[in-house]
Structure 1
Amino acid sequence: MYGTGYLAASALTITPVSGPLSGKAMPPGSKSITNRALLLAALAKGRSHITGALKSDDTRLMADALRAMGVPVEEPDVTTFVVDSNGHLQSPGKPLFLGNAGTATRFLAAAVALVNGEVVLDGDEHMRKRPIGPLVVALRSMGVDAESIGGCPPVTVHGTGGFRGGRVEIDGALSSQYVSAVLMMAPLASGPVEIALTGPQIGARGYVDLTLSSMRAFGVEVEHVSIAQWRVEPGAYRATDYHVEPDASAATYLWAAEALTGGSIDLGVAAHAFTQPDARAYGVISKFPRMPSVIEGSQMQDAIPTLAVLAAYNQTQVRFTGIANLRVKECDRIHALAQGLNRIRRGLAEEEGDDLIVHGNPKLAGAHVDARIDSFADHRIAMSFALAGLKTTGITILDPRCVAKTFPGYWDTLAALGVELRVADENLETSP
């Protein structure tokens, strides 16, 4: 079964491969960069062509929200967006539904301060549990009338068409997206904006660098005053043609599949060519089956599920530290990883505070288990645990459709490399 068939299944069972996985497999475009480029193109006057872009649930939700605010967004092919904007956002007239798209929700929560009127940003049951309070506090300090329910979406912003400059302090410990959201709106303030972290901690700082690079591409420079402070002068974004690099987080699954099977998968781009922070996971993956005993994951958070499943087959124990933020992602990923690994074999993983300990067991390769993996509707949990199915018989992934959030073609990509996937029902009664 190919194409949408995999996404329509309630469960998929992975058949272990008999040899190395080899071939070509291009990751989709970066979700993080695509959604930044879409927003900046909407804030720029003129026509922007965004090529190499990701078309997935998250980017569709961002594009639909921009359309609802009067920005024409065309999709001439499967990897291109054309944004033809007058540089302004209009009141959408009804709440913007953003599913569980964290980038879209947080970036737009700041950007809609430029709308003249009320804007409500809402999401699904998972998004309504994800924190946005620190961003709302920062916006209010800038004179933006914004409020949220219990520090989570829905968020209501009463826009006045603009906002003042000045100093704004942000608690970026939970998510770098709060910082990126304010940075991207800052050039459109009535005066200079100074953005300062309330502490040195910031979740995945490398994503702020992605934001600064995207802003630069659309004609705005940001002064990096210190490690915890930026200054942005008033200015305007310029429409441009922008190419999105492949998604490094998606690449980690293919790198890990290559390492697990001793294969050779050509991604079409070298690991060192990625600018996204998750690309640093390649250095850890290349050490398999002798991964480091301690992996500090704060700056490659989305790669941790991949590394944790890979660590199950490592020769020695691996402790993951600096990953507390994984508890407030699409699901509590620390708990989801521990639960899934322990369904493969009891005692394989444990939570110790906010650390995850994986007791590597090379004998899992070739073993037969009966493990139904709850993905918790989290794309990264589903995609990472599929890797276990390459070596261990009896791995079934529930809710395989959730990969559409960032990598709709994931199952097809595995199949094209020679991985057999069998549609299963939720009671594990599989059919060919």
Structure 2
Amino acid sequence: MTALPAALTIIPPNHPLVGRVSPPGSKSITNRALLLAALAKGTSRLTGALKSKDTVLMAAALRQMGVSVEEPDATSFVVTSTGRLQAPEGPLVLGNAGTAVRFLTAAVATVDGTVVVDGDEHMRVRPIAPLVAALRSLGIDATSESGCPPIVVKGNGSFGKGRVEIDGGLSSQYVSALLMAAPLGEGPIEIALTGSDIGARGYVDLTIAAMRAFGAEVEQVDAGTWRLQPSGYRSTDFAIEPDASAATYLWGAEVLTGGTIDLGVAADAFTQPDAAAQAVIAQFPNMPAVIDGSQMQDAVPTIAVLAAFNNHPVRFVGIANLRVKECDRIAAVSTELQRIRPGLAEEDGDDLIVHADPGLAGQTLPARIETYADHRIAMSFALAGLRIGGITILDPACTGKTYPAYWDMLAGLGVKLEPAE
């Protein structure tokens, strides 16, 4: 599907979805690997990579800072660097790519010069103050007037040294950003959490694994403290695993239609936190009455749409961080489920309650789903269209942020998609 219309109506297939689908590469790992390769001296080859809006924006920003990023094929990057980023001629404009904005905000402190890290109107309301405060505590001149992008960083060529504390409650990406920049310090750097809460801690483990692959020396002092040596990075060849968040849509399509979709990789082979969603999805239509989404945040919209067809209501807890994603995903999921059927969902503080109704399956309930420029809202609610007639997804092209071939994938499994006005 080369050119997407303004809206797509999904025609319920009325048959099990069966086939082989290779999920795209992990966005989270691809953007980590791109940055680490740019901070390493020499040439690194990244295979199995995701080519999507977020990773294209990261690659473009690195090119602005003097890094050679070649793309020999659809799933590879070849990154050649001196091991140091150069001051770009203009701002780094990163759309709504949270990983790119957070990671580069810390990394550009190692530039000798001033760098402006910015995003689009959606990114400009996503908080970054805890990361800016942590950078300032290291003696780095970083400012953000609104507590959100744009951020102005006046680097002096080093990441400093000593101890830095960070509140990771809003986003684990703040912690990952500091961790990845720390090996470029003047001396050892200790990074400590100010509290026990951290958004999706598994992504910090993902960061450390990638850092070690590029030669970083990371010591886990205790559950909330890491010590890093000024080792720098060395170039390497790095294989990127498929995206677990993308896999959740395939697992969801499988259980909703009673089908069998071969992903070519077992759920327990993923290292990404969202892979934990498979164990929950596999219990459909008897998923737990309470689901803690704190460590699989990007999978929550997928599971919430499945919950609409569950045999009993589901309360999602531990998901407050979803309010500061590409959109307020708690509000968005609740609003759009209620658009399908009034009373189908509600917000209770920062919890989301889905009032399950297995009888929805097979009905025609025309609904035009607002996607809020959020790829995960679009892809999750497409699953509702596999069992309910009349589901139309607005702005389907927003899936290009992480899964450009999403609609082609559904069509390849036999799902009919019709352009809508």
Distance in 1, matches of 2:145 and 2:78, equals 35
Q: 2:222 aligns with which of 212, 220, 226?
A: 226
Shift of 1:307: 0.3
What is the DSSP-based 3-state SS (H/G/I as helix, E as strand, rest coil) of the residue aligned with 2:13? coil
From 259, 268, 276, the counterpart of 2:272 = 276
Question: Could you say which residue in structure 2 is the equivalent of 1:368?
Answer: 364
In 2, Cα distance between equivalents of 1:394 and 1:92: 48
Match of 1:149 among 124, 145, 155: 145
Mapped to 2, the partners of 1:280 and 1:392 lie a distance apart of 27
1:393 is matched with 389
Q: Does 1:168 align with 2:180?
A: no
The aligned amino acid for 1:215 is M
Structure 1 runs of 4+ aligned residues shifted over 6 Å read none
Q: Secondary structure at the match of 1:140?
A: helix
What letter is aligned with 2:11? T
1:78 corresponds, among 66, 74, 77, to 74
Matches within 5 A, 1:52-201: 52-201=48-197
For residue 221 of structure 1, report the CA deviation from its aligned partner.
Answer: 2.5
Could you tell which deviates more after superposition, 32-41 or 157-166? 157-166
1:294-323 superposed Cα distances (whole Å, 9 cap, x missing partner): 000000000000000000000000000000
- Contact 2:159–2:181 at 8 Å: present in 1 too? no
Counterparts of 1:330 and 1:368, CA distance in 2: 30
Report the aligned-residue RMSD: 0.5
Unaligned runs of 5+ in 2: none
Deviations 1:46-73 (A, max 9, x none): 0000000000000000000000000000
- Counterpart secondary structure, 1:157: strand
**Residues 24 and 246, structure 2, Cα contact 8 Å, conserved in 1:** yes
1:135-192, Cα deviation, whole Å (9 max, x unpaired): 0000000011000121100000001111321000000000000000000011110111
User: How far apart in 1 are the matches of 2:196 and 2:221?
Assistant: 14
Could you tell me which residue of structure 2 aligns to residue 249 of structure 1?
A: 245
Q: How many residues align?
A: 421
TM-score, structure 2 normalization: 1.00
Aligned positions of 1:414-429 closer than 5 A:
414-425=410-421
Map Cα deviations across residues 103-152 of structure 1 (whole Å, 9 max, x no partner): 00000000001111100011000000000000000000001100012110
Amino acid at match of 1:198: T
* CA offset digits 1:9-35 (Å, max 9, x no partner): 110000001110000111100000000
Partner-residue secondary structure (3-state), 1:5: coil
Match in the other structure for 1:352? 348
Amino acid at match of 1:313: F
Q: AA paired with 1:74? A: E
> What is residue 3 of structure 2 aligned with on the other side?
5
Check if 1:211 corresponds to 2:207.
Answer: yes
Superposed CA deviations along residues 342-372 of structure 1, whole A, max 9, x for unmatched, are 0110000000000000011011100111100
Q: Which residue of 1 is the match for residue 291 of structure 2?
A: 295
Equivalent residue letter for 1:181: A
Structure 1: gaps (5+ residues): 426-432
SS of residue in 1 equivalent to 2:286: coil
Q: Which residue of 1 aligns with 2:31?
A: 35
* Percentage of matched positions with identical amino acids: 70
Contact 2:118 2:151 in 1 (8 A): yes
